[in-house]
Amino acid sequence: MAASTVKSTNITNIEAKPQVINDKRVGNLWAVFDKIVVATTSVDEIDDIILFGPVPSNAVIKDIEVVNDVLDSDGVLAFDIGLYYSGIGGEQFNFDKSSGTEILDNCIGTAVTTLGAANTAWASVRFEAANITSFIQPAWELAGLSADPGGLFWIGLKVTTAATTPVAGDVLITCTYLN
Amino acid sequence: MTASTVKSENITNIEAVPQTILDKRSGVLQTIFDIDAIATTSVDEIGDIMLFGPIESNCKILDVLILSDDLDSDSALRVDVGLYYSGIGGNQAFNGNTSGEVIDAACFASAHTTLSAAATTWTSVRFEADDIIDVNKEAWEVAGLTSDPGGLFYIGLTVTTAGTSADAGDVVVRVDFINN
């Protein structure tokens, strides 16, 4: 066999005639960070939800990272991580999508235990459940929608395994994206 | 008990009437990286300082990350990581604050091992000594100042335990921040 050279999607697009635009695959990296003081009552029941944001519905999400205090001394606490409507902007209000309405609760992470223990360096949860090829999908597509409703989305953490010894603490999330 | 939904600070601000601005909590993520070839004489004495930068005094620092060669074969080397005046811009020169003057030598990390072994992936030191909620503070607040002097700051690595078998090598410091 002879050695081969393969070209990526971007290079293939650039070298195509006519050239194909590398839409939202190059540009300024935007970031939003957000914080919440989580009470013990927010992690002690399955389906408790903690919402962060905002992220534009058409953002291509590069990473979602967390730093946090310990929220469960027993370390059993687990969350699904997904996307939720904000009810703000685009067609969301017209479609009766109010703040906190679930789109897909585990499109980013499934039963993630990262927040059970303290994290003092940013810990990525972006591809815990999502396929790495989803890095080119806008948020609405990542959430499984067939069209962009516009406006803002929230990032939601939904408890799948409740803390058996819940502890109140701070959680910070940073989402970086191209838009 | 029934399951509850709680909303973060940003969402609370966005849904407030009137809406509250997300001041420097959302914007273009800016990065500066800097590099220096460190001589053995820069890590062989307690109090040796390596300065990198600059960053703006009023930016919000998401991360401080380091790559390095091994600067001490004995792995004894320890450094504090903090913020220093540049003497450039704002009121710094007017206030008599010159380049390299310490503000808080250990506001990010204290007696950190990062330079005592080679780091070929980015090592975060942002919250080693600082509380995670300080990500919402501007640099001058992280450094413990009571008001913003303006201008530029430097990131400083100060030797707290000298290398006992100091080696020369490269150090790269990267800062990710929002300031728009």
pLDDT, tens digit, for every residue of B125-141? 999 999 999 999 999 99
Please report which confidence band the pLDDT of residue A154 belongs to, taking 50, 70 and 90 as the band edges.
Answer: very high
Tell me what pLDDT residue A124 has: 94
Within 8 A by CB and 6+ apart from B107, the residues are B81, B82, B83, B129, B130, B142, B143, B144
Rounded Cα distance between A44 and A163, Å, is 5
How confident is the prediction for chain B on average, in pLDDT? Answer: 95
Exposure b/e, B67-84, CB count within 10 A at least 16 = b: bbbbbbeeeebbbbbbbb
How confident is the prediction for chain A on average, in pLDDT? Answer: 93
Tell me what pLDDT residue A130 has: 86
Partners of A56 in the β-ladder: A152
Please report which confidence band the pLDDT of residue A23 belongs to, taking 50, 70 and 90 as the band edges.
Answer: confident
Q: Do B14 and A32 touch (CB under 8 A)?
A: no
Tell me what pLDDT residue A118 has: 94
Tens of pLDDT, residues A98-131? 999 999 999 999 999 988 899 999 999 999 888 8
Q: Looking at residues A81-95, what average pLDDT do you find?
A: 93
* A44 touches B at CB < 8 Å: yes
- Using an 8 Å CB-CB cutoff, list chain B residues near A34: 8-11, 25
Could you tell me if A169 and A71 are in contact, meaning their C-beta atoms sit under 8 angstroms apart?
yes
Tell me what pLDDT residue A27 has: 87
Among B9, B29, B127, the residue with its CB nearest the CB of A35 is: B9
Tell me what pLDDT residue B180 has: 80
Q: Do B4 and A52 touch (CB under 8 A)?
A: no
ipTM: 0.89
- Using an 8 Å CB-CB cutoff, list chain B residues near A39: 6
* pTM recorded for the entire structure: 0.91
Could you tell me if A120 and B108 are in contact, meaning their C-beta atoms sit under 8 angstroms apart?
no
Tell me what pLDDT residue B19 has: 87
DSSP-assigned letter for residue B72: B
Tell me what pLDDT residue B116 has: 93
* B129 touches A at CB < 8 Å: no
Q: Looking at residues A138-163, what average pLDDT do you find?
A: 97
Residue from B167, B172, B82 nearest B116 by CA: B167
* B27 touches A at CB < 8 Å: yes
Tell me what pLDDT residue A92 has: 92
- Using an 8 Å CB-CB cutoff, list chain A residues near B28: 28-31
Among A28, A52, A176, the residue with its CB nearest the CB of B8 is: A52
Q: Of the given ranges (A7-11, B108-112, B117-121), which has the lowest mean pLDDT?
A: A7-11
Tell me what pLDDT residue A10 has: 87
Rounded Cα distance between B174 and B180, Å, is 19
Q: How far is B95 from chain A, CA to nearest CA, in Å? A: 33
Residue from B154, B158, B169, B144 nearest B111 by CA: B158
